[in-house]
Amino acid sequence: MRLLAIIIAAGLACGSATLAVAQHRHGHDASAPVAPDTRQFVKFPKPLIEHTLANMRDHLQTLQEIQSHLALGHTDVAAKLAETRLGMSSLGLHGSAEVAKYMPQGMQEAGTAMHRAASRFAITTQEAGVTGDLKPVFAGLAEITAQCVGCHAGYRLK
Ligand code: HEC
């Protein structure tokens, strides 16, 4: 239930929710007591843990490449990266069907929401290449990132 609330909050006001989480963490220095870890532990077979974490690092790298290409005005490249590496087209790439069966439902939903947000972002970004209006592109990027944040807040593998 808590995760659902986080995801809904992230979806409704993703920018501010994300910022609030980041600021909260920054407020603590290293010596201060850490908030209890309330994330749900999800048991994956060992090889799938390593596989999933490698995918995760690719997700982060993709976000970085998308941002670099947006800064260069390469909206077409950014759109293609989002669709093929994070979007619905990436499901085969990440072996999602194999991994999904070990995930609780809320985690599966967060994953699906991320793939959908990335595919929507790809379309928005292609349109921005025509209109020149980048505002919806940044909003779309925040929607993708909100799904990363929401799932990370709810689940852990280790
Ligand atoms: C469906 C849930 C889910 C989504 C969506 C998700 N992640 Fe993760 N991610 C995880 C889990 C679970 C871990 C492992 C955390 C742990 O065990 O401490 C993780 C770990 C990571 C790591 C650490 C990898 C390592 O080598 O330890 C990175 C980086 C990461 N995610 C990036 C992202 C980015 C960027 C996105 C969004 C584009 C994203 N993730 C979306 C669940 C998710």
**Res. 4: pLDDT tops 50:** no
Query: Rounded CA gap, 150 and 7, in Å?
Result: 5
- Taking Cα atoms as reference points, which of 78, 149, 139 lies closest to residue 113? 149
- Taking Cα atoms as reference points, which of 36, 52, 32 lies closest to residue 2? 36
Better pLDDT: 18 or 156: 156
User: In 10 A of CB 137, how many CB atoms?
Assistant: 21
**Is 114 touching ligand 1 by the criterion CB < 6 Å?**
yes
Predicted confidence at residue 95, as pLDDT, reads: 74
**Res. 6: pLDDT tops 70:** no
Q: Distance from the CA of 152 to the center of ligand 1, in angstroms?
A: 6
Predicted confidence at residue 28, as pLDDT, reads: 54
Closest atom of ligand 1 to CA, residue 111: 1
Each residue's pLDDT tens digit, 76-112: 999 999 999 999 999 887 777 889 999 999 999 999 9
Average pLDDT (22-46) is: 77
**Is 54 touching ligand 1 by the criterion CB < 6 Å?**
no
The token duo for 143 is: 């929607």
Predicted confidence at residue 151, as pLDDT, reads: 98
The token duo for 53 is: 């974490």
Each residue's pLDDT tens digit, 49-71: 999 999 999 999 999 999 999 99
